[in-house]
Amino acid sequence: MAEAVLSAHGLCKSFGAVQATHDVSIDVRPGEIHAVIGPNGAGKSTLIAQLCGSMASDAGRVELLGRDVTHDTVRRRAQAGLARTFQISALAMEDTVLQNAMLGALGAAGRPWRFLRPALGDQDLRDRAEAALERVGLQDVRAARVAALSHGQRRQLEVALALTLSPKAFIMDEPMAGLGGEGSKLLTDLLSALRADAPILLVEHDMDAVFTLADRISVLVYGQIIETGTVDQIRRSPAVRDAYLGEGA
């Protein structure tokens, strides 16, 4: 079994009396897409926040490439190669597509402290940004403002931004949210190809996409992972059927 790229061990987080996550352990291995599914309020958002570092855990440990990053900030984890996308697009609406993509390149290069030379004149950064745009198929709209993009294009740009970091692992928070069949198909193909770059932890509601893409699936219910396995294993799991369909055990 290959060494996990990203792994969490015994993560806990509670808000008052509510336990959002309880003893969650999960890992993402090279070349795979590991999907996390679960009903609303199961703790998926909390888990993502704990993995990315925007929320401190009450207990547990997060490792990236075998290194403990539990106490690192979002920024540190990003620098170490953890890229994420947001469920609600977090893009600089007033700026162009290329400028947004440059931002990721800038972060990856880790040096925003240049004040006098134009950013777009930096060939190195620009190549990196354009490569990412090409990868997601946005190269033709690079000069457009984000505000003018369609919803689907914004979802693609979200992925492009993550790509510019040249990450070691992706965390994708409902990338298909709000997409129609066509857009969903496009993004599914894109993600499928991406796993060769870096493994993906995919949180998604679109079950067609999940069953198409996922190498493994974990089911999160009431803050706990009740089952992890391949698509077939999950389909057959009594615990999952129970959680979703309420069939007696």
Partner 1 sequence: MIPERWLNLGILAALVAVPIWALVVDEPFIITLVTRAVIFALAAVGLNIALGLGGLVSLGHAVFFGIGGYAMGILAYHAQTFTPLAEWPFPIDGTKSMPVIWLVAVTTSTLAALLIGLLSLRTSGVYFIMITLAFGQMFYYFSISWAQYGGEDGLSIYVRNGFPGLNTLDPIQFFAICFALLCAVLGFNALLARSPFGLALNAARQVPHRVETMGLSPFRLKLVAFVISGAVTGLAGALFADLNRFVSPTMFSWQMSGEIIIFVILGGVARLIGPVIGAAAFVLLEHWLGGLSDYWHIYLGAILLGVVLFARGGIVGLVARAHG
Interacting residue ranges for partner 1, rule: CB under 8 A: 52, 54, 73-75, 78-79, 83-84, 86, 90-95, 99-100, 102-104, 106-108, 110-120, 122, 125, 161, 164-165
Per the CB < 8 A criterion, the answer to whether 8 and 34 are in contact is no
In the bound complex, what is the minimum distance in angstroms from residue 40's beta carbon to partner 1? 22
Neighbours of 205 (CB within 10 A): 15
- From 186, 211, 215, 183, select the one nearest 200 (Cα to Cα): 215
Per the CB < 8 A criterion, the answer to whether 102 and 117 are in contact is no
**Closer residue to partner 1 (CB): 141 or 161:** 161
Pairing of strands 224-229, 6-15: unpaired
**Closer residue to partner 1 (CB): 51 or 225:** 51
**Closer residue to partner 1 (CB): 43 or 81:** 81
**Closer residue to partner 1 (CB): 105 or 221:** 105
In the bound complex, what is the minimum distance in angstroms from residue 88's beta carbon to partner 1? 10
In the bound complex, what is the minimum distance in angstroms from residue 35's beta carbon to partner 1? 20
CA distance 95 to 67: 36
In the bound complex, what is the minimum distance in angstroms from residue 76's beta carbon to partner 1? 8
- From 37, 68, 72, 79, select the one nearest 173 (Cα to Cα): 37
**Closer residue to partner 1 (CB): 86 or 211:** 86
In the bound complex, what is the minimum distance in angstroms from residue 43's beta carbon to partner 1? 20
- From 236, 208, 234, 199, select the one nearest 220 (Cα to Cα): 234
- ∠ at Cα 49 (178, 53), nearest 5°? 135
